[in-house]
Amino acid sequence: MNTGANEVPETVLASTVAKPFIEELRQGLEKLDRKPKLVGFLANSDPAAVKYADWTKKTSEEIGFEYELRTLDKEDLEEGILQANEDDLVDGIMVYFPVFGNRQDQYLQQVLSPQKDVEGLSHIYISNMYHNIRFLDKEKTQKSILPCTPLAIVKILEHLAVYNSVLPYGNRLYGKTVTVINRSEIVGRPLAALLANDGATVYSVDVTGVQKFTRGEGIKQIKHHVADVDTDWKEAAAQSDVIITGVPSPDYKFPVELTKYGVVCINFSSEKNFGPEVKEHAALYVPSIGKVTIAMLLRNLLRLIDNKKQRSL
Ligand SMILES: NC(=O)C1=CN([C@@H]2O[C@H](COP(=O)(O)OP(=O)(O)OC[C@H]3O[C@@H](n4cnc5c(N)ncnc54)[C@H](O)[C@@H]3O)[C@@H](O)[C@H]2O)C=CC1
Ligand SMILES: Nc1nc(=O)c2c([nH]1)NC[C@@H]1CN(c3ccc(C(=O)N[C@@H](CCC(=O)O)C(=O)O)cc3)C=[N+]21
């Protein structure tokens, strides 16, 4: 814990945030009669993907899940996914991206059965998230799955009390302004939508420009909408209470001197997007989030198993 003013900012580690979720996962496993099995498909040599795959395996096995990494050629990936979709011994599947690095990757993501999609990137889940729909069925017995990296960031913001628990559930980011530097389909865009659905004003920045995600003035709408805005990303950053970065480049450093003192900084890139000067401005700094992402991945896996049980009742 931070005791003196000299120690600002508090660096918050993903392992600290992940801890209660890992405990919850262990308890969830005790209620099952077998070890759930997660299969990861690796069809590239991207070092970040290889490292992440090794590390998903280690963490899954430590907690008590079974994990199998299937390494194969790009050309065999679709067939491999289809086979795992049909295999009753496989509970969850994930594919490490990028594979082709273009729209074919989005196609491959949709080949994966939604019933086994631990990352929550299937069209049905993303669509439910964009429309703020929480359940898969009318009876509300099967929960929709949220994309695991955006969900991990939400859990981190809850841990940091950026989510104001005095406000009603669903509006807990009302009054907060967030800048997200990344608008990929797997993290940045769904993240902006999720935070805006919870009441925040979100500036989503990528190489092409800035978009603003909100629920309108006074958060009157039930789901977010998106507008292209002229706001310069630097202006957005200056107004923000939270800066979230995901730039996959070792040379990129977010210019933290643009921000307000007391800002909250979170980096989800595998590269360090904040330099040491983050300490001059931030109140709270989260240098990486991977451990929380994996906890959410496995949480989604238990949820998929539960949804399957609900369907068979
Ligand atoms: N910690 C975790 O759980 C996860 C981490 N990652 C990591 O996050 C990073 C990003 O991954 P993806 O979103 O898949 O990458 P991507 O390459 O699909 O997207 C990068 C995004 O950053 C934007 N961008 C790049 N340079 C920029 C700049 N100078 N200014 C503003 N925007 C810029 C791009 O326009 C794009 O929107 C990678 O390092 C990846 O390894 C990805 C998934 C999960
Ligand atoms: N379908 C798919 N989903 C992904 O989530 C995905 C992917 N493909 N392809 C590869 C990238 C890479 N990635 C990272 C995860 C955690 C850290 C991270 O935060 N690592 C920590 C901890 C590392 C450790 O403790 O060993 C760190 O770098 O400090 C980085 C990168 C997810 N990816």
CA distance 142 to 266: 31
Q: Are 144 and 135 in contact (CB under 8 A)?
A: yes
The secondary structure of residue 132, as a DSSP letter, is T
* Residue pLDDT, tens place only, 217-267: 999 998 899 999 999 999 999 999 999 999 999 999 999 999 999 999 999
Q: How far is the CA of 53 from the centre of ligand 2 (A)?
A: 8
The one-letter code for the residue type at 161 is A
Instruction: Please state the pTM of the whole predicted model.
Output: 0.94
Q: In the CATH hierarchy, which fold is given to the domain comprising 150-290?
A: Rossmann fold (3.40.50)
The rounded Å distance from CA 52 to ligand 1 centre is 15
The complex scores an ipTM of 0.93
- In ligand 1, which atom is closest to the CA atom of 188? 13
**Structure-model confidence comparison of residues 200 and 5, the more confident one:** 200
Residue 154: closest CA among 169, 143, 166: 169
Test site for ligand 2: of 11, 94, 288, most ligand atoms within 8 A of the Cβ: 288
Reduced to 3 states (helix: H, G, I; strand: E, B; else coil), residue 140 is: coil
Pocket mutation for ligand 1, best pick of 59, 156, 269, 296 (most atoms within 8 Å of C-beta): 269
Number of the ligand closest to the Cα of 191: 1
Show me where the domains of the chain are located. 150-290
Is 270 strand, coil or helix?
Answer: coil
Which tokens sit at 69? 């990494």
